[in-house]
Amino acid sequence: MYLIYEKDSLGRSIFEIVFKNTGSVFNKDGVANMTAYMLNKRGTLKEKEKFYSSLEEKALNLNVAVNREFTTISAVFLNEKLNFAIKKITELLATPNLTEEALEKSKKEILAKKENLKNNYDYIASSNLFKAMFKNTPLMYPIIGENIEKITLEDIKNHFNFYSKENAVFINGGKKIEIAPFIEILNDNAPKNDMFFHAKKENITDYHNVEQSYIYFGANYKTTNDKLYLAKIATFILGAGGFGSRLMEEIRVKKGYAYSAYASNDFHKTYSILKGYLQTKLENTNNAIKLVKNIIENFYEKGINEEELNGAKQFLIGSEPLRNETLSQRLLKKFKEYYFELKEGYYDKELELIEKTSLSEINSFLKENPIKNLSFSIVTNENTKR
C-alpha cells in the first residue's frame, strides 16, 4: 500500500486506486480486461446498471481501466461530492456485480467490439508486433483477449481477489481523502510476482484487402533508471520529435513514402522496447521497410551529431513546463517515480541531466542498445507478393 497526494484548490478532486500486477499479463488471456469491463458496465449486486445513473446525477466520473501491468479505478468529482464519491467507490469494490448473467452479457459486448477491430488495421499491425516479439509469453495476447468465450466466472472472481490492499497505490489530488474506508473492504492477498519478458527478433505479415501497407516495427531496448534521460534524447532524435527527426526526414521529406513516421520508447516493468510505425503505398512497402532498417542501423552505428543533440535539448527542456500544467499530469509523474522505483523528484532532476549530456555520452549509450535488431509487423495486400 502506498499513498501519493498533492493538494489543489480548484474545487474538484482526483482519486485513483492502482492495483499493481493485475494487468493482462498476470492472468489468463482476457480475464483482466473482462473484470475491468464488468466493473465499468455491470455495477453493483444491489443496483446493477442503475449504479451508473446515480453517478451521472452527481457529476461523478468513475472509470476502471486496465493495461498489461495494472488496473486503475479513477474518479473525478466536485469537492462537495467527496463523501458520495467514497461511498460509491467502496460499494463497487465491496459488492461488484460479478455474476454469470453479468459475465455473459459482457462477453457478448466485448466480442462485438472485437468484431469491429477486424477492420482496424493499425490495431491488427500493433497487436501482431507483440505476437511476433513476445511469442509464447502472456504479452503476445492483446489486452482485450483472444479467447474470450473461455473466460469463466471463477476466473473473474479469482482475479478480482488481487484488488487487494497489499497491491494498492492510492493517488489523491485536490481535497485530501481518508483511505481508511477502502482499507477496510480490501482483502489481504499478496501481489503476484513481478515478471519481465525480453523481446525477440521476429517478423509477421498479415494479408488483408487494404489499399496501403501498415508497417509497425520494434526492438528490445532495455536500459537502467540512471540512463532513462539518454533514451529520451536518443529516441526524440530518431523518431519521437516529429519533423526534424531522422525517420520523418528520411521517409517523408526525402522519399515521400509516408505522411508520417514515428518511433517511441515503450518502457514498462514487464517489457522495454523501442517501437515505431508508418503507413505507405503498397508499391513502396519493401523499399520503406529497407529504409527503416537502414535509418536505424545508421543511427546505432554512427550515432548523432552536435546539431541534433542541441536541438533535442532545447525542445525537451523548453517543453517540460507544458507537461506539468495539470494536476493529473503532476500526479502521474509522482506515480511513475514510485512505480518505476525512481528517486523522488527524478523528473525535475532529469532536465539537468539532459542539459549536461555530452555528444560522446549519448553516442556511447546508443552502442549499448542494439536497436537495429528490428522485428516487423506488416499488414498489407497480397499484391505486394508479386
Between residues 63 and 345, the one the model is more confident about? 63
pTM score, whole prediction: 0.93
CATH number of 203-385: 3.30.830.10
Question: What is residue 322's predicted lDDT score, i.e. its pLDDT?
Answer: 67
Measured CA to CA in angstroms, residue 307 lies from 214, 234, 311 at distances of 32, 13, 6
Q: Could you report the per-residue pLDDT of 183-235, keeping only the tens digit for each? A: 999 999 988 999 999 999 999 999 999 999 999 999 999 889 999 999 999 99
In a 3-state reduction of DSSP, which class is residue 335? helix
Q: Could you report the per-residue pLDDT of 318-367, keeping only the tens digit for each? A: 887 667 778 898 999 999 999 999 988 898 899 999 999 999 999 999 99
Report the distance separating Cα 253 and Cα 311, nearest Å: 18
Q: How many CB atoms lie within 10 A of CB 314?
A: 11
Whether the per-residue pLDDT at 386 is higher than 60: the answer is no
CATH class belonging to 2-185: alpha beta
Residue with cell 519493401: 286
Check: CB of residue 97 under 8 Å from CB of residue 48: yes
Task: Judge residue 193's burial from the number of C-beta atoms within 10 Å of its C-beta, 0-12 exposed, 13-18 middle, 19 or more buried.
Answer: exposed
Q: Could you report the per-residue pLDDT of 224-257, keeping only the tens digit for each? A: 999 999 999 999 999 987 788 999 999 999 999 9
Domains of the chain by residue range: 2-185, 203-385
Question: What is residue 382's predicted lDDT score, i.e. its pLDDT?
Answer: 84
Check: CB of residue 39 under 8 Å from CB of residue 96: yes
Report the distance separating Cα 257 and Cα 248, nearest Å: 10
Mean pLDDT value across the chain: 93
Please tell me the number of Cα atoms within 13 Å of 222 on its side-chain side.
9
What are the residues facing 375 on neighbouring strands? 218
Indicate the residue type of 345: G
Taking phi first (over 0 means left), then psi (-120 to 50 degrees means alpha), and beta for anything else, what does residue 252 get?
Answer: alpha
**Identical fold between 2-185 and 203-385:** yes
Whether the per-residue pLDDT at 110 is higher than 80: the answer is yes
